[in-house]
Amino acid sequence: MKDYFEAGHTRGYEFRISQLKKLKQALLAHETDIYEALKTDLGKSKTEAYVTELGIVLSEISLHINNLKGWMRPKKASTNLLNFPSTTKIYQDPLGIVLIIAPWNYPFQLLMAPLIGAISGGNCAALKPSEITKATEALIEKIITETFSPAYIFVATGDGDKVVPALMDNFRFDHVLFTGSISVGKAVYEMAAKKLTPVTLELGGKSPVIVHADADLETAAKRIAMGKWLNAGQTCIAPDYILVEERVRLPLIKALTTSIQTFYGHAKQADDYGKIVNEKRFETLIGFLKDGKILVGGEYDQANLFIAPTMIAPTDLTCGVMTEEIFGPILPIISFTNKEDALKIINQNSHPLAFYVFTKNSELEKWWLENVPFGGGCVNNTVYHFANDKIAFGGIGNSGIGGYHGKYSFYTFTHAKPVLKTPNWFEPKFKYPPFGDKRLKLFKWLIK
């Protein structure tokens, strides 16, 4: 891969466009296979698989194909008086060989979406799909192997605990993009630091929902339910817990219950309600059910890795369901009487990946957005900011470093290389020694 990149094969516009088109054609050719793999691994319906995985990837490819020429074009930058009459341009240089490590919850989309940025940025890429979602892992390997030379795009399969260190300890990648848990993200960051490899870390955290008494509760309930129980709650930006004003706590629970019944009916038989990824995750989630009073749901079936959409009133703020990222269909609900107390609860798990507030009051909205540091979020909605390819997606603090999506993926996988170009016709003597006090005054004026 290093030889292939250094030979310049990946740099040209025509090459990049052709590879993006090849990827799109390959994915469309395997569309049915993608649906089947995601159904096998996570119980996703065809519609959910398209909306949250394949559709996002296809849309991202189209965006890059339509805009790549403009993104690649050198951008003019202003030049200061000291450098007159020079001109400055910024070139977006490919980074080289990049490593993309994907998680199991959206195993197709969270590998392919960053790959698109790596391709459009002119790089070679090594891909590490999640071994937990085996059907998707096998399909990704098949698609990539059939479509691209391994000198250009390579898939490393197997146990991530072994494969990723083997890759990173024996080669210096020019960038690593990792999506997954905070604990594994820290380990990847440590390995990258040894070789001064830059990283993009898309991690998780406990993403809160604030519901004020003035919110449209029926609409809020539908949007919270959709964001929470999508993919059976196994979404990094899913609402992790609700902080609701005490006087509307019961009406909100009632509205959420109605939304669950409307969306899924008997969830165990619902085509639009998925399963827990494996038994290890299932047992962790069942443990959370003991951390409070079950308000709605709570049914489970280990043989089918099924846990019903569930709401719970936590025993206290130190129990596991309130200190660990849930990553499942269990939704704690906590009431508050003033926003300052609610903020203290959020700050116990600071810097969430996502933040959601429901209110009609613009002053309350402004207060929350100014007082909570978070990766991205919504006002009167949940999770749909992820689907906007005009904005970057990423975390802050414990929830991540850097971002991507749309044009930001291109910039993540390229280096902004500034170049100053100076003509030969103007060669003032004052720029060269000997300087003296008069020159100092002149330089002070020019630099100022």
pLDDT given at position 448: 81
Q: Are residues 191 and 212 in the same domain?
A: no
CATH number of the domain that 377 lies in?
3.40.309.10
Shared domain check, 110 and 32: yes
One domain for residues 240 and 179: no
Residues 350-377: what's their mean pLDDT?
97
Same domain? 160 vs 292: no
320, pLDDT greater than 90:
yes
- Domain CATH number, residue 180: 3.40.605.10
* Same domain as 265, residue 136: no
58/23 Cα distance (integer angstroms) = 9
- Tens digit of pLDDT for each residue in 395-440? 999 999 999 999 999 999 999 999 999 999 998 888 899 988 888 9
What pLDDT is recorded for position 63?
A: 98
31 is catalytic: no
Q: What is the mean pLDDT of residues 347-357?
A: 96
Residue at 440 is within a domain? no
Q: Domain residues for 216?
A: 208-388
Average pLDDT over residues 84-95: 97
Q: Are residues 263 and 331 in the same domain?
A: yes
Give the active site residue among 236, 245, 325, 378: 236
Q: For 220-230, what is the mean pLDDT?
A: 98
Asked if residue 256 belongs to a domain, the reply is yes
Same domain, 219 and 272: yes
Same-domain check for residues 266 and 174:
no
Verify whether residue 202 is a known catalytic residue. yes
Same domain, 172 and 219: no
Is the pLDDT score of 131 beyond 90? Answer: yes
Q: What is the dihedral of CA 156, 159, 164, 166, to 10 degrees?
A: -90
Evaluate whether residue 241 is within a structural domain.
yes
The answer to the question of residue 129 being in a domain is yes
Domain match, 126 and 43 both = yes
**Does 90 fall in a domain?**
yes
Q: Please state, in angstroms and as integers, the Cα–Cα distance from residue 273 to each residue in 44, 71, 146, 207, 384, following that order.
A: 7, 39, 32, 21, 18
Q: Please check the confidence at residue 390 and state whether its pLDDT lies above 90.
A: yes
For the segment 267-316, what is each residue's pLDDT rounded down to a tens digit? Answer: 999 999 999 999 999 999 999 999 999 999 999 999 999 999 999 999 99
Give the per-residue pLDDT at 399.
95
Question: Residue 121: is its pLDDT beyond 90?
Answer: yes
Q: Clarify whether residues 227 and 166 are in a common domain.
A: no
pLDDT at 438: 86
The Cα 98–Cα 5 span in angstroms is 11
190 and 288 share one domain: no
Q: Is residue 183 part of a domain?
A: yes
For the segment 236-246, the average pLDDT, to the nearest whole number, is 97
Q: pTM of the full predicted structure? A: 0.95
pLDDT tens profile 23-66: 999 999 999 999 999 999 999 999 999 999 999 999 999 999 99
SS (H, E, C) the chain: CHHHHHCCCCCCHHHHHHHHHHHHHHHHHCHHHHHHHHHHHHCCCHHHHHHHHHHHHHHHHHHHHHHHHHHHCCEEECCCHHHCCCEEEEEEEECCEEEEECCCCCCCHHHHHHHHHHHHCCCEEEEECCCCCHHHHHHHHHHHHHHCCCCCEEECCCCHHHHHHHHHHCCCCCEEEEECCHHHHHHHHHHHHHCCCCEEEECCCCCEEEECCCCCHHHHHHHHHHHHHHHHHCCCCCCCEEEEEHHHHHHHHHHHHHHHHHHHCCHHHCCCCCCCCCHHHHHHHHHHHHHEEEEECCCEEHHHCEECCEEEEECCCCCHHHHCCCCCCEEEEEEECCHHHHHHHHHCCCCCCEEEEECCCHHHHHHHHHHCCCCEEEECCCCHHHHCCCCCEECCHHHEECEECCHHHHHHCEEEEEEEECCCCCCCHHHCCCCHHHHHHHHHHHHC
Out of 48, 53, 60, 202, the active site residue is 202
Domain count, the chain: 2
User: Has residue 439 been placed in a domain?
Assistant: no
In a domain, 437, yes or no: no
- Provide the mean pLDDT of the chain: 96
Rounded CA-CA distance 71/40 in Å is 38
